[in-house]
Amino acid sequence: MVKKIILDCDPGHDDALALTMAVASPKIELLAVTTSAGNQTPDKTLNNAMRMLTLLHREDIPVAQGNQTPLVKPLETAPEVHGKTGLDGADLPEPDFAVQEIPAIELIAKTLRESSDKVTLVVTGPMTNAALFLRVYPDLAKEKIDQIVFMGGAMGLGNWRPSVEFNIFVDPEAAKIVMNFGIPLVMAPLNVTHKAQILKNEIEEIGKINNPVAHAFYGLLNFFEQYHENPKWGLKGAPLHDPCTIAWLIDPEMFETDWMNVDVETQGDLTRGETVCDYYLLTGKPANTEVLLGIDREKFIKLIMDTMKSFN
Ligand code: RIB
Ligand code: CA
């Protein structure tokens, strides 16, 4: 059965790869793309999503812009990771189609109303748009969203504060709304995404694939990998965070998972944005989240290589 999805993202190099994997997979129908502020400012993440869909020749997929800021605190972006444009490292085409005139939550609502089947909401950036949608259209969400699959959070070490991952850091209040809404959740935390690394020699393999999409990702992944060379991360390559969500939808067997309650700390001075994962079932709170913890990296990389080759 083809999975119908809406992708809410903040491209961002790994968001761009997740988007490309969704477009390329026969197992996924990408109904709409909405953009959030996170890796870069809202206008840049919107422009990046549209440039990617132009590169992929998928201007038929509607795109709408979402939040300008997080719900409570000012926006914090990540230019040190994704560069000035948010997608540094490749010459991408300018968008050759128009953005939807409606905001993200209205495109999500329209898409859900028009779909005869339930839809999976995939979130690969801060959860602001998802939270706003759930607050404005709770009944439509319960009726037409079957699950929310998101990259974010960590069970333990963070990447933006000691115990806080970037997406949740940017908008913890939004994440708390989503985590406690009641729609089943699938979470790809840093615990799995730091195992989902692409190595430099594998990026070189992509460079040998002769089509414009692979050429673009050769540049994008080489740029993205640079930030992660700092030995403090203990990584051998670039962690492909957001693609884990799409890989799970395409082939869940690729992952080891565990169900548990996940909630978000929003008050702590040191821990605001920490995802609190009840791995040992200590709270008695409902297991609302399937957490991805292990990955078959070889299978994951093969999926990415096959995705690149599919544009030949
Ligand atoms: O912490 C990694 C997450 O933050 C990824 O989604 C990346 O794109 C950035 O948004
Ligand atoms: Ca992202």
Model confidence pLDDT, tens digit, residues 202-248: 999 999 999 999 999 999 999 999 999 999 999 999 999 999 999 99
Q: Which residue owns the Cα nearest ligand 1 atom 1? A: 166
Helix (H, G, I), strand (E, B) or coil at 88: coil
Given a contact cutoff of 8 angstroms between Cβ atoms, the answer to whether 245 and 14 are in contact is: no
Average pLDDT over residues 195-205: 98
> pLDDT grade, residue 47 (50/70/90)?
very high
Residues 227 and 309: their CA atoms lie apart, in Å, by: 26
Residues 235 and 44: their CA atoms lie apart, in Å, by: 28
Give pLDDT, residue 238. Answer: 98
CB-defined site of ligand 1, < 6 Å: 10, 12, 14-15, 38-39, 124-125, 151, 159, 165-167, 241-242
Give pLDDT, residue 70. Answer: 98
Share of the chain above pLDDT 70, in %: 100
Q: Write out the residues surrounding ion ligand 2, Cβ under 5 A.
A: 10, 12, 15, 124-125, 242
Nearest to 56 by CA among 284, 257, 217: 217
Residues 91 and 139: their CA atoms lie apart, in Å, by: 42
Nearest to 268 by CA among 185, 161, 190: 161
Helix (H, G, I), strand (E, B) or coil at 75: coil
Q: Is the pLDDT of residue 1 over 90?
A: no
Q: Is the pLDDT of residue 78 over 90?
A: yes
> pLDDT grade, residue 171 (50/70/90)?
very high
> pLDDT grade, residue 96 (50/70/90)?
very high
Q: Is the pLDDT of residue 119 over 90?
A: yes
Given a contact cutoff of 8 angstroms between Cβ atoms, the answer to whether 185 and 143 are in contact is: no
Token pair belonging to 308? 């690149």
Ligand nearest to the CA of 193: 1
Nearest to 249 by CA among 8, 13, 30: 30
| Number of structural domains in the chain | 1
Average pLDDT over residues 80-95: 97
CA angle 105, 68, 17 (to 5 degrees): 75
DSSP for residue 269: T
Return the active site residues. 241
**Which domain does 289 fall in, by range?**
3-309
Atom of ligand 1 nearest to the CA of 78: 9
Average pLDDT over residues 83-104: 98
Average pLDDT over residues 136-151: 98
Average pLDDT over residues 134-157: 98
pLDDT digits (tens, 9 = 90+) for 286-300: 999 999 999 999 999
Residues 213 and 52: their CA atoms lie apart, in Å, by: 9
> To test the ligand 1 pocket, which listed residue (123, 124, 161, 221) has its Cβ within 8 A of the most ligand atoms?
124
Share of the chain above pLDDT 90, in %: 100
Over the chain, what is the mean pLDDT? Answer: 98
Give pLDDT, residue 312. Answer: 93
Average pLDDT over residues 251-278: 98
Tell me which residue has tokens 């959070």: 153
CATH code assigned at 283? 3.90.245.10
Atom of ligand 1 nearest to the CA of 39: 10
Within 8 A by CB and 6+ apart from 74, the residues are none
